[in-house]
Amino acid sequence: MSHPHPELNLPRPLAANGVRIIALGGLGEVGRNMAVIEHAGQLLIIDCGVLFPEDHHPGVDLILPDFEYIEDRLDDIQAIVLTHGHEDHIGAVPYLLKLKRDIPIVGSMLTLALIEAKLKEHRITPYTLGVKEGMREKLGVFDCEFVAVNHSIPDALAVFVRTPGGTILHTGDFKMDQLPLDNRLTDLRAFARLGEEGVDLFMTDSTNAEVPGFTTPEKDIAPAIDKVFRDAERRIIVACFSSHVHRVQQVLNAAEQAGRKVAMVGRSMVRNMGIAAELGYLHVPDGVLVDVKKLDNFPDDKVVLICTGSQGEPMAALSRMANRDHRIDVGVGDTVLMASSLIPGNENAVYRIINGLMRLGVNVVHKGNAKVHVSGHASAGELLYCYNIVKPRNVMPVHGEWRHLVANAELAVQTGVPREQVVLAEDGVVVDLVDGVARIVGAVPCGYVYVDGASVGEFDEALLKDRRILRDEGFISVIVVIDSATGKIAAGPEIQARGFAEDDEIFSQVRPKIEQALAEATGNGVTDSHQLEQVMRRAIGGWVGGKIRRRPMIIPVVIQA
């Protein structure tokens, strides 16, 4: 994968008193978060998440961090520390544990419950260590202290890593909601205390660094949700992340007040909310929750469904409802509440869903027309507060696209961090912290690893390019039988095309060109089938490019008879 330092080579061995930090995902992208910290020959991993595919990843299910850098050093890994339970921070853990199943996983109670449920599907029983804010744990040479932070999922933690070579404060995803629904504030007193002790490297969440001011408190969206419940004529369908416990709690509370029954739709939603309720993070009012199969027993104006699909995922419940491919048949009078922000790259897919639902007569309420979602990430004002409280010696923005990282870096500079001590890196770039100074020292190979069904990392960008060509440009096969004795065409050319609006008859124009090109080649003594196939490819490719203005995938086949 490219980064803004193309001249970088493999780094030299780490200095004896140094700490090395390498992001294997999460820098220059929203998702796939994973950082590797190294000291004294030991490794500590912070988060191990997935990135969800976009339109230019046809057929891809998930994108993983590149484990190549650590594959030969699995025995050096002391633990995987998980900051919270979102997929972009825990989703790749099963794929790493398949390489070595006994790597300890460290996290809060809800985070561990979510990853254990995920690992159960992969038939992996993990070694886990439960922690909570205020605790310190020695993980090899890494002395880790955990700090409460507020996010859009309960039980999120920042981690302060003490090593003989320096200290690192990694925020994970966080914001500074002063009126959190679970009354669990980001612990700024702990941030200040750690700042007094000395933070050599501050790794800070960049996702909202471009947004001025402060992130809206979760409680401020309650009036918008209440309005949806007041105005809805028939069913209410709420789409949100399957891990957004706070949002589901608000919907349950509104449903109880409105006298509506709630059903969860989607395997991940049912599983995650079941775990959250069992552990006490989700409080389900008595008699409100019902099985989706029993919804027909209640009138439409007494029903709420909570489902996945707020990011336009094609197989999620909401997408299937919009395409009339779901047992829930939505239509006029129904209200869909999309209670999530747009992850960059998903905009087109989400708007397709909104348009599809509105075409069916559904009233769609989303962030664009109502205050029905607030971010889980600190905006610029909150980040400034943190920099001033922590007073870090060096800063490394994490978690975000390049524009987010740059904006976060500028905030650090504004608060007095010297510009040369603000490290802007992308995935694979190696940062060494030596004698209190962080600097880029090299880069390691770090690409995308694609999950495609049961296949993991078995195809590359070349295969994706082929898929994009098939999707966008179409496909032509040309079959010719050559008489091996005379070198003349015995049968064909037989042309089959897919993905073209033009009638197949148009390809009769290119047959003489193929015949002429083959005759010239065989006349010049070319007999090798592969070379003759390339002659055919060039002949039809040039014609299609000039005549139809397309660059399809061309499969030429020469049969010697």
Tell me: do 293 and 418 sit in the same domain: no
User: Which residues are known to be catalytic?
Assistant: 205, 377
Show which of 301, 335, 365 is a domain's final residue. 365
373 a known binding residue?
yes
Would strands 19-25 and 429-434 be described as parallel, antiparallel, or unpaired?
A: antiparallel
149 pLDDT above the threshold of 60: yes
**Does residue 81 form part of some domain?**
yes
Tell me: do 51 and 73 sit in the same domain: yes
Tell me how many domains the chain contains: 3
Q: pLDDT tens, 435-487?
A: 999 999 999 988 888 776 555 655 656 666 655 655 666 667 777 777 666 66
For the ranges 72-81, 289-298, 318-327, the lowest mean pLDDT is seen at 318-327
425 pLDDT above the threshold of 50: yes
**Does residue 165 form part of some domain?**
yes
Q: pLDDT tens, 120-135?
A: 988 999 999 999 999 9
Query: What CATH number should be reported for the domain holding residue 253?
Result: 3.40.50.10710
108 a known binding residue?
no
What pLDDT does residue 550 have? Answer: 67
Mean pLDDT (the chain, rounded): 85
What pLDDT does residue 204 have? Answer: 96
Q: pLDDT tens, 7-58?
A: 778 889 888 899 999 999 989 888 889 999 999 999 999 999 988 765 555 5
Tell me: do 421 and 522 sit in the same domain: no
* Residue matched to tokens 């104006």: 301
- Report residue 54 as tokens: 């976009």
3-state secondary structure of 162: strand
Tell me: do 57 and 198 sit in the same domain: yes
Tell me: do 189 and 226 sit in the same domain: no
Length of the chain: 561
Tell me: do 474 and 495 sit in the same domain: yes
301 a known binding residue?
no
What pLDDT does residue 324 have? Answer: 82
Q: What is the pTM of this model?
A: 0.81
Any residues with CB less than 8 A from the CB of 7 and at least 6 apart, and which?
none
Determine the average pLDDT of the residues in 427-437. Answer: 94
Show which of 452, 485, 514 is a domain's final residue. 452
What pLDDT does residue 536 have? Answer: 75
Tell me the range of 6-10, 334-338, 461-465, 488-492 where mean pLDDT is highest: 334-338
**Does residue 5 form part of some domain?**
no
170 a known binding residue?
no
375 a known binding residue?
yes
Compute how many other C-beta atoms are within 10 angstroms of the C-beta atom of residue 134: 11
Q: pLDDT tens, 296-308?
A: 888 988 999 998 8
91 a known binding residue?
no
Binned at pLDDT 50, 70 and 90, residue 3 comes out as very low
What pLDDT does residue 293 have? Answer: 85
CA of 507: how far to CAs of 61, 79, 249, 519, in Å? 36, 61, 61, 19
177 a known binding residue?
no
Residues 396, 409: Cα–Cα separation, whole Å: 8
**Does residue 6 form part of some domain?**
no
**Does residue 13 form part of some domain?**
no
Tell me: do 63 and 209 sit in the same domain: yes
Tell me: do 512 and 496 sit in the same domain: yes
Query: What CATH number should be reported for the domain holding residue 71?
Result: 3.60.15.10
Domain containing 264: what range?
A: 218-365
Tell me: do 160 and 236 sit in the same domain: no
Q: pLDDT tens, 72-123?
A: 999 999 999 999 999 889 999 999 999 999 999 999 999 999 999 999 988 9
**Does residue 4 form part of some domain?**
no
545 pLDDT above the threshold of 80: no
Under a CB-based contact definition with an 8 Å cutoff, are residues 318 and 335 in contact? no
